[in-house]
Chains A and B, each alone.
Chain A
Amino acid sequence: MEKWPNNRAWLLVLPVFVIVAFSAIIPLMTVINYSVQDIFGPNQAIFVGFEWFREMLADKRLHDALWRQFLFSGLVLVIEMPLGILIALAMPKKGWGVSLCLVTIALPLLIPWNTIGTIWIIFTRPDIGLFGAGMNSLLGIPFDHTARPLDAWITVMLMEVWHWTPLVALLAYAGLRAIPEAYYQAARIDGASAWSTFLYIQLPKMRGVLTIAFLLRFMDSFLIYAEPFVLTGGGPGNSTTFLSLYLVKIALLQFDLGPGGAFSLIYFVIVLLFSFIFYQALERIGKGDKV
Chain B
Amino acid sequence: MKGRKKFVGLAIYFILLLVPIYWMLNMSLRSNADILASFALYPKDITLMNYMNIFTDSSWYMGYVNSMIYVALNTAISLFVALPAAYAFSRYQFVGDKQLFFWLLTNRMAPAAVFALPFFQLYSTVGLLDTHIAVALAHCLFNVPLAVWILEGFMSGIPREIDETAFIDGYSFPRFFITIFIPLIRAGVGVTAFFCFMFSWVELLLARTLTVTEAKPISAIMTRTISATGLDYGLLAAAGILTIVPGAMVIWFVRNHMAKGFALGRV
A residues neighboring B (CB under 8 Å) = 1-10, 12-13, 15-17, 19-20, 22-24, 26-28, 30-31, 34, 86-87, 89-91, 98-99, 101-115, 118-123, 127-131, 133, 162, 166, 170-171, 173-175, 177-178, 194, 208-209, 212, 215-216, 219-220, 223, 225-226, 243-244, 247-248, 251-252, 257, 260-261, 263-264, 267-268, 271-272, 275-276, 279
Taking the closest CB of chain B, its distance from the CB of A28, in whole angstroms, is 7
User: Would you give 27 A-B contacts (Cβ < 8 Å), ordered by A?
Assistant: A6-B94, A9-B92, A13-B89, A15-B81, A19-B81, A19-B137, A19-B144, A30-B117, A99-B255, A111-B247, A113-B202, A114-B223, A118-B237, A122-B24, A128-B233, A131-B20, A171-B267, A174-B191, A212-B149, A226-B204, A251-B114, A257-B117, A261-B114, A264-B114, A268-B111, A271-B109, A271-B111
Contact-size category for B: 35 or more
Taking the closest CB of chain B, its distance from the CB of A42, in whole angstroms, is 10
Residue of A at shortest CB range from B10? Answer: A90
Q: Is B44 an interface residue (CB 8 A)?
A: no
Taking the closest CB of chain A, its distance from the CB of B102, in whole angstroms, is 7
Residue with the highest number of chain A CB atoms closer than 10 Å, among B77, B114, B150, B218:
B114
A90 and B114 within 8 A (CB): no
B144 and A16 within 8 A (CB): yes
Instruction: Indicate with 1 or 0, residue by residue over B214-249, a CB within 8 angstroms of chain A CB atoms.
Output: 000011001100100000010011011001100110
B114 and A247 within 8 A (CB): yes
A27-B118, A119-B240, A268-B111 are known contacts. Are A6 and B255 too (CB-CB below 8 A)? no
**Residues of B contacting A178 with CB < 8 Å?**
157, 264-267
Residue with the highest number of chain B CB atoms closer than 10 Å, among A23, A133, A247:
A23
A23-B137, A107-B251, A268-B109 are known contacts. Are A128 and B91 too (CB-CB below 8 A)? no
**Residues of B contacting A220 with CB < 8 Å?**
108
B267 and A15 within 8 A (CB): no
Residue of B at shortest CB range from A107? Answer: B248
In order of increasing CB-CB distance, the 3 nearest A-B pairs are A110-B247, A174-B265, A9-B92
B18 and A104 within 8 A (CB): yes
A175 and B265 within 8 A (CB): yes
